[in-house]
Every structure is written in C-alpha cells, then in structure tokens.
Structure 1
Amino acid sequence: MRIGILGGGQLARMLALAGYPLGLDFSVLEPAPDACAAALSTHI
C-alpha cells in the first residue's frame, strides 16, 4: 500500500520509519529535495 504525505519534515520521517516494517510505501509531497523524509520515500 502506498501512502502520500504532505510535507517532508521530521513527522513525515518518523511516520515512514514506523510504516516500513509493516510493508508500507511512502510518497512525500515536498518542494525541498533535501527534506528530512527525502531519504525514506520512493517519490519526492
């Protein structure tokens, strides 16, 4: 299942870290390419 997150800050990063062990995939909508959650999402 893919989950979309608006904003790539610390909360998005923590959500992705909690969801990956459950088999979830994340897409982050964030204008800055160096956002906190950028390294953890499949699409920025």
Structure 2
Amino acid sequence: MKIGILGGGQLARMLSLAGTPLGVDFVFLCQAHDACAATVGEHLHA
C-alpha cells in the first residue's frame, strides 16, 4: 500500500515511522527541499 501525504514536517515523519513496519510506503508532497520526512519516504517537490 502506498499513501500520499501533503506536507513533510515532523507529523508526517512520525506517521511514516509508525506505518513502515506495517508495510506501508509513503510519498510526501511539500515545498521544502530539506523536509523532515524526506529521509523516510519518497519526496516530491511542489
């Protein structure tokens, strides 16, 4: 399963860290190049 999240801040990162052990992949859409969540999932720059 793949889930898209708008924003790549701390809450997005915590959600990804909780969902990854369950087999969920995450894609983050945000404006920042250095978003917190960019290291734990796919990052799309808006």
TM-score for both structures, normalised by structure 2: 0.88
Count of matched residue positions in the alignment of Structure 1 and Structure 2? 44
Percentage of identical aligned residues: 68
Misfit runs of 4+, over 6 Å: none
Question: Mind listing any 5+ residue stretches in structure 1 that lack a counterpart?
Answer: none
Whose strand proportion is higher, 1 or 2? Answer: 2
TM-score by length of 1: 0.91
Unaligned runs of 5+ in 2: none
Distance apart, 1:41 and its partner CA: 1.1
1:20-41 per-residue CA deviation (whole Å, 9 max, x = no partner) reads 0000000001011101001111
